[in-house]
Amino acid sequence: MTKRGLIQGELGGLLERGLSRRAFLAFCGAMTALLALPPRYVPRVAAAVSGAPKIPLIWLRGSGCGGDGEALLRTTGPGAVSLLLESLSVDYLEILMASAGEAASDLRAATIAAAPNGYLAVIEGAISNADDGYRHTVGGRPFRDVAREVSAGASGVIAVGSCAFDGGLAAAGGGSIGAGGVGEVVAGRPFISLPGCPVNAANLAATIVHFLTFGELPPADGRGRPLFAYGSLIHNQCERRPHFEFGEFVEDWGDEGAQKGWCLYKMGCKGPEAYANCPTVRYDEGASWPIGSGQVCIACTMPGFWDSMGPAFRRLPPLAPFLPWLTADVAGQVIVGGTAGLAVAHGTASIVRAGVRRRRAARARLAEEAPETAPVAPPVAEPEAPPVVAPTEPAPEGTPVEFEPETAELEPPAEPELEAPEPVPPPDSEDA
């Protein structure tokens, strides 16, 4: 069967319910890209989404505004919601259920009992811990216990929204209900957290698509946030970043810079401190996002953002007042660069040490093997000792020195050629 035929065949159920093949493949392509998977994974994602058995889904709502469930249900078009509602069996979602009270609690218990192979649990809102959890009850039971019970049998637990991440607004300034994150009640089960106020429905859809495709939740950072969605700084993806580089800032709401879409840093934007994919995924089927609509980023995906990132419209103080250019981003780059340098130095030293060890081992091996295998060298002739000259008695003073005939090979000095003296004429007799 061709790839096209495979997708078409498994799409049957979805197509019968009015979804166009084009919309379905567009969704699968978008999910594949969002998960940072290569394009060749699109058929696999399509097969998983359309052909997976309907996995039960239980959606709980803790202490919060309920905005995450609303964000999911209010998306438009044939995007995340419709396809996920087709792919999953949403058995418990309070804002959609007709049943209430005991009937709803019975339905939840029945869903857990009827899914021996597990189900997905999505929890929004904070966990209330004060007064042994009785500040927030569901059916007379602490919500904390219900969340713990549902999580215990789940194949995967997804905390959605900032309140489910670490207590959110309910924990701001200390709070009054002992608010904490959903991670506190999930023990030993696959868990992931999607902070944001509210959660981006596209990230939730991608997380579920990853679970359907690979049977596990996507890789996450140390706080349980998936790297595909929370691995990059908002500031580095922001469409207003060129204005930041050129020093073009909004100085007041409604000024010329605001109308021209300049950078919102001076208005308190926390984009340089926040990690999320809002600039690329955006909200409402990609329509816009806070900074795109002229609002500052409030870093709602960061731990304790109500306290640590506030006030919303004031710039964060620099890390070091005497180094105003030292932002968290720059500090992080310095730390990463320093770590990389240390790693290189460590690697170089390791290579040198390994070389020294190898040479030592080779010398030791040669020393062990030498008596058996080394060729016998020919005897080396002893150099002849020079003749020993017996010391002679010094000759008494005045004794003529006699030369040895062999060594006295000096040429005899040439006879000096003397010119004959001119004859002196005899004295003149007359003169005499």
Q: Select the span of 139-147, 209-217, 232-240, 303-311 touching ligand SF4 (CB under 6 A).
A: 232-240
Rounded Cα distance between 355 and 377, Å, is 31
Options 61, 136, 225, 235; binder of ligand SF4; rule CB under 6 A: 235
How far does the chain reach from its first CA to its final CA, in angstroms? 160
Q: Which two tokens stand for residue 223?
A: 């706080």
Please identify, using beta-carbon distances, which residue of 210 and 235 lies nearer to ligand SF4. Answer: 235
Options 10, 240, 301, 302; binder of ligand SF4; rule CB under 6 A: 240
Contact assessment for residue 165 and residue 193, using Cβ atoms and an 8 Å cutoff: yes
Contact between 264 and ligand SF4 by CB under 6 A: the answer reads yes
Please identify, using beta-carbon distances, which residue of 41 and 262 lies nearer to ligand SF4. Answer: 262
- Smallest gap, in angstroms, from Cβ of residue 311 to ligand SF4? 16
**Coil, strand or helix: which one is 57?**
strand
Contact between 302 and ligand SF4 by CB under 6 A: the answer reads no
Site for ligand SF4 in 90-119 (CB under 6 A): none
Q: Select the span of 4-12, 64-72, 238-246, 252-260 touching ligand SF4 (CB under 6 A).
A: 238-246
DSSP characters over 249-311: B--STTSHHHHHT-B-GGGT--GGG-B--HHHH-BTTTTB-TGGGT-----TTSTTHHHHS-S
Place of tokens 């932002």: 327
Site for ligand SF4 in 268-287 (CB under 6 A): 269, 271-272
Q: Which two tokens stand for residue 360?
A: 């030592």
Taking CB positions, which residue lies at the least distance from ligand SF4? 271
- Smallest gap, in angstroms, from Cβ of residue 240 to ligand SF4? 4
Q: What are phi and psi of 41, to 5 degrees?
A: -85, -5
Contact between 297 and ligand SF4 by CB under 6 A: the answer reads yes
Q: Which two tokens stand for residue 366?
A: 């040669």
Q: Select the span of 23-31, 46-54, 155-163, 265-273 touching ligand SF4 (CB under 6 A).
A: 265-273
Q: Is residue 85 exposed (0-12), middle (13-18) or buried (19+ Cβ within 10 Å)?
A: middle
- Smallest gap, in angstroms, from Cβ of residue 264 to ligand SF4? 4
Binding region for ligand SF4 (CB under 6 A): 234-235, 238, 240-241, 244, 263-265, 269, 271-272, 291, 297
